[in-house]
Amino acid sequence: MLRHLLHYGIHFLIPILIAFLFFKDNRIKVALILLAGIVIDIDHLWATPLYDPNRCSVGFHVLHSYWAVLVYSILPFFKLTRIIGLALIIHIFADMMDCLLM
Protein backbone atom coordinates (compact mmCIF):
# COMPACT_ATOMS: atom_id res chain seq x y z
CA MET A 1 0.00 0.00 0.00
CA LEU A 2 2.77 2.46 0.96
CA ARG A 3 4.64 1.52 -2.20
CA HIS A 4 1.70 2.45 -4.42
CA LEU A 5 0.89 5.65 -2.53
CA LEU A 6 4.50 6.81 -2.80
CA HIS A 7 4.82 5.79 -6.45
CA TYR A 8 1.63 7.47 -7.66
CA GLY A 9 2.07 10.39 -5.27
CA ILE A 10 5.39 11.19 -6.91
CA HIS A 11 3.88 10.73 -10.37
CA PHE A 12 0.93 13.04 -9.76
CA LEU A 13 1.35 15.21 -6.66
CA ILE A 14 5.02 16.19 -6.93
CA PRO A 15 4.65 17.67 -10.46
CA ILE A 16 1.72 19.80 -9.29
CA LEU A 17 3.59 20.95 -6.18
CA ILE A 18 6.71 21.83 -8.19
CA ALA A 19 4.65 23.77 -10.74
CA PHE A 20 2.75 25.71 -8.10
CA LEU A 21 5.77 26.45 -5.90
CA PHE A 22 8.44 27.25 -8.50
CA PHE A 23 6.60 28.34 -11.67
CA LYS A 24 4.04 30.84 -10.39
CA ASP A 25 3.63 32.67 -13.71
CA ASN A 26 2.82 29.54 -15.73
CA ARG A 27 1.81 27.08 -13.03
CA ILE A 28 -1.03 25.38 -14.93
CA LYS A 29 0.96 24.99 -18.15
CA VAL A 30 4.03 23.71 -16.29
CA ALA A 31 1.91 21.36 -14.17
CA LEU A 32 0.40 19.85 -17.32
CA ILE A 33 3.82 19.41 -18.92
CA LEU A 34 5.21 17.83 -15.76
CA LEU A 35 2.22 15.50 -15.53
CA ALA A 36 2.71 14.59 -19.20
CA GLY A 37 5.97 12.91 -18.22
CA ILE A 38 3.81 9.84 -17.66
CA VAL A 39 3.71 9.43 -21.46
CA ILE A 40 6.98 7.49 -21.37
CA ASP A 41 4.99 4.64 -19.86
CA ILE A 42 3.89 3.88 -23.42
CA ASP A 43 6.85 1.52 -23.54
CA HIS A 44 4.97 -0.76 -21.14
CA LEU A 45 2.78 -1.70 -24.11
CA TRP A 46 5.72 -3.51 -25.72
CA ALA A 47 6.42 -5.67 -22.65
CA THR A 48 5.30 -9.25 -22.11
CA PRO A 49 3.37 -9.54 -19.92
CA LEU A 50 1.89 -6.09 -20.40
CA TYR A 51 1.71 -5.48 -16.66
CA ASP A 52 3.77 -7.17 -13.99
CA PRO A 53 3.45 -5.65 -10.50
CA ASN A 54 6.78 -7.20 -9.47
CA ARG A 55 8.83 -5.90 -12.40
CA CYS A 56 11.08 -2.89 -12.01
CA SER A 57 10.48 -0.52 -14.92
CA VAL A 58 13.87 1.18 -14.67
CA GLY A 59 16.35 -0.70 -16.77
CA PHE A 60 13.68 -2.96 -18.27
CA HIS A 61 11.56 -0.85 -20.61
CA VAL A 62 13.08 1.04 -23.54
CA LEU A 63 12.11 4.51 -22.36
CA HIS A 64 13.16 3.58 -18.83
CA SER A 65 16.60 2.30 -19.88
CA TYR A 66 19.75 3.68 -18.34
CA TRP A 67 20.64 5.31 -21.68
CA ALA A 68 17.27 7.07 -21.74
CA VAL A 69 17.76 8.22 -18.14
CA LEU A 70 21.12 9.68 -19.16
CA VAL A 71 19.43 11.70 -21.91
CA TYR A 72 16.65 12.81 -19.53
CA SER A 73 19.24 14.07 -17.04
CA ILE A 74 20.87 16.25 -19.71
CA LEU A 75 17.62 17.92 -20.82
CA PRO A 76 17.21 20.29 -17.82
CA PHE A 77 20.49 22.01 -18.69
CA PHE A 78 18.90 23.59 -21.79
CA LYS A 79 16.20 26.22 -21.50
CA LEU A 80 14.13 24.77 -24.35
CA THR A 81 13.93 21.29 -22.79
CA ARG A 82 14.21 22.17 -19.09
CA ILE A 83 10.63 21.41 -18.02
CA ILE A 84 10.33 18.30 -20.19
CA GLY A 85 13.57 16.99 -18.74
CA LEU A 86 12.30 17.68 -15.23
CA ALA A 87 9.08 15.82 -16.04
CA LEU A 88 10.99 12.77 -17.21
CA ILE A 89 13.34 12.82 -14.24
CA ILE A 90 10.39 12.99 -11.84
CA HIS A 91 8.86 10.02 -13.64
CA ILE A 92 12.05 7.96 -13.41
CA PHE A 93 12.46 8.94 -9.75
CA ALA A 94 8.94 7.70 -9.02
CA ASP A 95 9.69 4.41 -10.75
CA MET A 96 13.01 4.04 -8.92
CA MET A 97 11.24 4.51 -5.59
CA ASP A 98 8.78 1.85 -6.64
CA CYS A 99 11.66 -0.52 -7.46
CA LEU A 100 13.34 0.14 -4.11
CA LEU A 101 10.12 -0.70 -2.24
CA MET A 102 9.56 -3.98 -4.05
Contact indicator for 33, 40 with CB cutoff of 8 Å = no
Structural domain boundaries of the chain? 2-100
pLDDT at 85: 98
Instruction: With 0.75 as the threshold, say if the pTM is over it.
Output: yes
Residues of the chain with pLDDT under 50: none
What was the pLDDT predicted at 53? 85
